[in-house]
Amino acid sequence: MHEFNQSLRYDQRMHAADIRGSIAYAKALALQKILTEEERDKMIEGLKKVGEEWKSGNFKPQPDDEDIHTANERRLSELIGTLGGKLHTGRSRNDQVATDMRLWLLDEVRDIESSLKGLIRVMVERADKEKDYLMPGYTHLQRGQPIRWSHLLLSHATSFKYDLDRLKQLIPRISVLPLGCGALAGNPFVVDREFLAKELGFDSIAENSLWGVGDRDFIVEFLMWSTLTMTHISRMAEDLIIYSTAEFGFVTLSDAYSTGSSIMPQKKNPDSLELLRGKTGRIFGNMAGFVVTLKGLPSTYNKDLQEDKEPLFDAVENVSASLKISEGVLATLEVHPEKMRKALTMDMLATDLADYLVRKGTPFRETHHISGRAVALAESRKVQLDELSLQDYQGLSDKFEQDIHNVFDFEASVERRDAIGGTSRRMVERQVQVLRAALEA
């Protein structure tokens, strides 16, 4: 049962957060005269030594250490004697573990925020430099209209920008102090929780002790955030996997982010992107599994909540790694603009053909049918739309004039998409400015 119950093998990564919380609590006990100043200082010195042992790799766990909290307190008592037993006065592992997890996650979220910004920055700077590259835009994986390569890159960067917004919005809900809630009913020694919050850098204090020890919504929210962010990474990865195939040839992954086949020497596999895509399911599984664990629990702390740590730790580790790998892939990606442009075909300007007639006064629903008939005529003759004659077009509508063949210009097509959000150069430059501003916010 001890081995089944033990969590030290994975929650030891919170050793620094546990030491920080204990140092702050020792100071709070001294303010309430539970500890003398001399005892407080001795206890803090001992806690710092325990922390140094963890940092240097010299901490020696013992068989009876159930978790990081008991391990640290046991070692503290070995260093300073029975005084170490005073540290737990008025404190429960229930409010202690909730505090440790929030402290630990706040540190990790700051690192993840930095990595996410790094990914967005690489995408924005690349898009700014590669505005001239035109490519087919797809819906249903069918060629639709010409767009700028930068516009596609920035579509993914925009998803990550909103992930960044959501992560920042989550921080205040993580940064709520549970310490001082006790086991469930509150602290009988009336420790100064406002002091504790300030000492530990929390934004606010858990106002209800029952909620404080039992709440894990902040973990669920982070797992949901991770699932959505990884979904965005996966969708970007899928685009790049498709575009890196020989059938498309729009991009080539760096050798650092791809592998060869064990049997087919001509192959270059996009393993980095496939792993990013695959890990998305894993992160979703962490979230779904923990929500199922949480949904049936009665109020306050239950041992089931020990199952919050492994999915959280795994999500943090894999999301952090995925963001860094994604940044590396995008930073080293080779783009082939000539292949992108070669994939553009005149039938992709069929909407521009309809728009031409709209500008001549014909209702769009009618122009849509006329354009469709032009496409059918070109297909029947096995020619492109720009190879049909003026007479051919005038046979479809008397609104067609000598300038009809000016429609068949891919650059002009993208430049006509000049409303906010469009793929014109001016609007791509606007997107770059918006995303740069978001990174500085």
Give the model's pLDDT for residue 1.
74
Q: What is the DSSP letter of 384?
A: -
Handedness of CA 84, 89, 92, 95 (dihedral sign): negative
Give the model's pLDDT for residue 336.
98
**Residues near 162 by Cβ (< 8 Å), separated by ≥ 6?**
none
* Residue 411 to residue 396: CA distance in whole angstroms: 26
Element (H, E) at 239: helix 217-243
pLDDT in tens, 315-342: 999 999 999 999 999 999 999 999 999 9
- Predicted confidence (pLDDT) at residue 28 exceeds the cutoff of 70: yes
Q: Which amino acid is at 416?
A: R
Q: How confident is the model at residue 429 (pLDDT cuts 50, 70, 90)?
A: very high
Give the model's pLDDT for residue 313.
98
Residue 261 among the catalytic residues: yes
Q: Phi first, then psi: what are they for 147, rounded to 5°?
A: -140, 170
For helices 93-129 and 309-332, what crossing angle results, to 10°?
Answer: 10
Length of the chain: 441
pLDDT in tens, 337-361: 999 999 999 999 999 999 999 999 9
* Residue 394 to residue 396: CA distance in whole angstroms: 5
- Predicted confidence (pLDDT) at residue 265 exceeds the cutoff of 70: no
Q: Which residue has the higher pLDDT, 348 or 260?
A: 348
Give the model's pLDDT for residue 188.
96
Q: How confident is the model at residue 259 (pLDDT cuts 50, 70, 90)?
A: confident
* Residue 168 to residue 405: CA distance in whole angstroms: 51
Give the model's pLDDT for residue 397.
94
Q: Nearest Cα to 14, choosing from 108, 101, 117, 119?
A: 101
Judge contact between 257 and 332, C-beta under 8 A: yes
- Predicted confidence (pLDDT) at residue 262 exceeds the cutoff of 70: no
Q: What is the DSSP letter of 131?
A: T
Q: Nearest Cα to 143, choosing from 375, 405, 367, 391?
A: 375
* Residue 11 to residue 3: CA distance in whole angstroms: 14
Q: Nearest Cα to 248, choosing from 165, 341, 330?
A: 341
Q: Hey, what's the torsion of the CAs at 26, 30, 32, 34, to 10 degrees? A: 80
**Residues near 402 by Cβ (< 8 Å), separated by ≥ 6?**
390
Judge contact between 94 and 213, C-beta under 8 A: yes
Mean pLDDT of 285-313: 96
- Predicted confidence (pLDDT) at residue 74 exceeds the cutoff of 70: yes
Mean pLDDT of 217-241: 98
Q: Nearest Cα to 109, choosing from 322, 280, 311, 320?
A: 320
The torsion region of residue 141 among left (phi > 0), alpha (psi -120 to 50) and beta comes to left
pLDDT in tens, 361-389: 999 999 999 999 999 999 999 999 999 99
**Other beta carbons within 10 Å of 379:** 12
Catalytic residue among 2, 140, 262, 380: 140
**Strand 259-260 relative to strand 251-252: parallel, antiparallel, unpaired?**
unpaired
pLDDT in tens, 195-224: 999 999 999 999 999 999 999 999 999 999
Q: How confident is the model at residue 131 (pLDDT cuts 50, 70, 90)?
A: very high
Residue 371 among the catalytic residues: no
How buried is residue 261: exposed, middle or buried, by Cβ count under 10 Å (0-12/13-18/19+)? exposed
Q: Give the helix ranges, DSSP H, for 244-308.
A: 271-295
- Predicted confidence (pLDDT) at residue 263 exceeds the cutoff of 70: no
Give the model's pLDDT for residue 266.
66
Three-state DSSP state, 62: coil
**Most confident range, picked from 4-13, 157-166, 265-274:** 157-166
The C-alpha angle with vertex 240 and arms to 235 and 242, in degrees rounded to 5, equals 95
Give the model's pLDDT for residue 46.
98
Element (H, E) at 48: helix 37-56
Catalytic residue among 114, 204, 254, 261: 261
Mean pLDDT of 254-270: 79
Indicate the pTM of the whole model.
0.94
* Residue 311 to residue 105: CA distance in whole angstroms: 13
Q: Quote the strand ranges of 183-320, DSSP E.
A: 204-205, 251-252, 259-260, 268-269
Three-state DSSP state, 21: helix
- Predicted confidence (pLDDT) at residue 230 exceeds the cutoff of 80: yes
pLDDT in tens, 81-123: 999 999 999 999 999 999 999 999 999 999 999 999 999 999 9
